[in-house]
Amino acid sequence: MQPALVEARVRQGLETLRLRRMADALGRVCEAASKAGRSYLEVLDELIEVEQSGRYERNVEIKTRLARLPYHKTMAEFDYSFQPSLDKKQIANLLTLRFLEHGENVILLGPPGVGKSHIAVALALETITKGYTAYFVTLQHFIDYLAEGPEPVGVKLRVFLRPKLLVLDEVGYLPLSREAANWLFELVARRYERGSIILTSNKSYGDWGSLVPDMALASAILDRLLHHSTTITIRGESYRLKEKRRAGLFQPVERLAEAAAAAEEGGTDGPNPVA
């Protein structure tokens, strides 16, 4: 058979077998191989590599989209020097994802802007890179999703039980109704020892009593959440405010006083201080 016919047949076969990337790369790889005198096995090896890496990239892309992350940031983009209370080794340990294998939880506590969601997102991206699924949801969205629509709560809950990693962000901004607290309990209890949760909160555990309508429920949730878990408390300044400050939008109190005094003297048109 003529080489062009064989190539067409092989391409057709690859497409039928749904090896589209191999089919697309066939001409290029074979031509380069014949010029370089590479063996049949080497050609096959390269074609399989093209298919595998293409599938992997597509897989990561789809899983990333399905995870509904608020932004895409990794720990490479994290400035540790700005957050000295954060133990870099502890984060490196989490990035190995051993906690996922054992269904352990990670709790990130601290005031707004210190990087809790950033770390959670970075761990979710790492999870996806390793071939697992992740899903990111704020507690408020979780509650709104379960509250609306005709489908039974048990069915809707599955969205949050399926992923290997669930990020539950912004726990503690609003006190929960009894119904919402029960859903949170259901979620934590059903993922317990099965699927990891990364939870972020501006509230320390002691304040959970004011978040959940009764103490028994609060401790039932915390009990399961904390049994196998790592807690990271970040005590630092807000990175958002640092950025504002750099842009001249935020001034420390003493600078505000100086600016006010200067303005009274009929002086400056310096940056407008906005807290």
Residues that bind ligand ADP (CB under 6 A): 73, 78-79, 82-83, 110, 112-118, 200, 239-240
Pick from 83, 117, 196, 201 the residue near Mg ion by CB under 5 A.
117
- Could you say which of ligand ADP, Mg ion, none residue 172 binds, taking C-beta under 5 to 8 angstroms by partner kind? none
The CA-CA-CA angle for residues 57, 63, 64, to 5°, reads: 85
Closest approach of ligand ADP to the CB of residue 69, in Å = 11
Count of CB atoms within 10 A of residue 2's CB?
Answer: 7
Count residues near Mg ion (CB under 5 A): 1
Distance CA 203, CA 110 (A): 7
C-beta separation of 118 from 130 below 8 A: no
Closest approach of Mg ion to the CB of residue 108, in Å = 9
Q: Which is nearer to ligand ADP, 95 or 153 (CB)?
A: 95
Q: Which is nearer to ligand ADP, 173 or 192 (CB)?
A: 173
Residue 134's DSSP bridge partners are 165
Closest approach of ligand ADP to the CB of residue 239, in Å = 3
Q: Which is nearer to Mg ion, 83 or 117 (CB)?
A: 117
Q: Locate 63 and state its tokens.
A: 């899983």
Count of CB atoms within 10 A of residue 57's CB?
Answer: 11
Q: Which is nearer to ligand ADP, 114 or 217 (CB)?
A: 114
Q: Using the rule CB under 5 A, give the single segment among 40-48, 114-122, 125-133, 155-163 that binds Mg ion.
A: 114-122
Closest approach of ligand ADP to the CB of residue 245, in Å = 13
Tell me the C-alpha to C-alpha distance, in Å, between residue 129 and each of 14, 134, 139, 150: 27, 10, 25, 35
Distance CA 257, CA 183 (A): 49
